[in-house]
A = this chain, B = another copy of it.
Amino acid sequence: MASPAHLDRAVVEGVVRQLVMERLAALTRPGESALAVHASARHMHVSRSDLDQLFGPGYELTVDRTLYQEGNFAARETVTLIGPRSRLISNLRILGPLRSRTQVELAFTDAVSLGLEVPIRLSGDLDGTPGAVLMGPHGIVELKEGVIRAAMHVHMSRGDAAHYGVRQGDEMKLRVGGDAGLTFGRVRVRVADDFRLDVHMDTDEANACGLHLTKEIELFK
């Protein structure tokens, strides 16, 4: 399914979307934080020990491009994910920095193409999720669990949370206008001092709402 050419296009699109969304964000009323919306293509986060196994002991990720949230980056490194029926996703991008547990985030479309049943979970909530085999240039990791479809969520600072009147763990709504206009009803709130106001959705969700085309986006309780 994922030929290198496809992935390259996905990455290019990701960058274009990011630019579009950041431009949109600049239209926000003064006094509010600018709202950014990013579509995350399938990717993985990796633990120290799994990175050692995939790329060799002590290996360090190299930054391909920095992401919107401070300190996060898309690495140059990718792995091959092997699903239960020997179906592959090649060039699965690693995002840095390292995490305590390895986690693979797929869109539902990806999960179907692999033949995997993937639950919708918040990042880090991995107990009981399916596993997969990961193949790097140095070796293989048999991931027992950690494959999820990421629940849509919004990062925000305490100030933004106060502005919207929400707290960590609350749910908000995101209305996306345009020809494919729709409202996502379950956007989970994640609050941290250094978070920039930023909604993350997966590529299925972005494709459903025509995120790349839209001019009107609104986040509300």
Contact = CB atoms under 8 A, between A and B. Distances in A.
Interface of A: 1, 3, 6, 9-10, 13, 107-109, 112-113, 115, 120, 151-152, 175, 177, 179-186, 203-205, 207-210
Contact of A186 (B10, B108, B152, B180): B180
Contacts of A177: 185
Query: Chain copies in the assembly?
Result: 2
A152 B209 CA distance: 11
B210 A208 contact: no
Contact of A185 (B1, B10, B181): B181
A10 B1 CA distance: 14
Contacts of A181: 184-186
Which residue among A10, A183, A185, A204 has the maximum number of chain B CB atoms within 10 Å of its CB?
A204
A177 B171 CA distance: 14
A87 B208 CA distance: 22
A64 to B, nearest CB: 21
Contact of A109 (B109, B151, B152): B109
A40 B166 CA distance: 37
A109 B42 CA distance: 13
A178 to B, nearest CB: 9
A188 to B, nearest CB: 11
A129 B210 CA distance: 17
A109 B6 contact: no
Contacts of A182: 182-186
11 contacts: A1-B1, A108-B208, A109-B109, A109-B204, A120-B210, A152-B180, A179-B186, A181-B184, A182-B184, A204-B208, A208-B209
A207 B109 contact: yes
A204 to B, nearest CB: 4
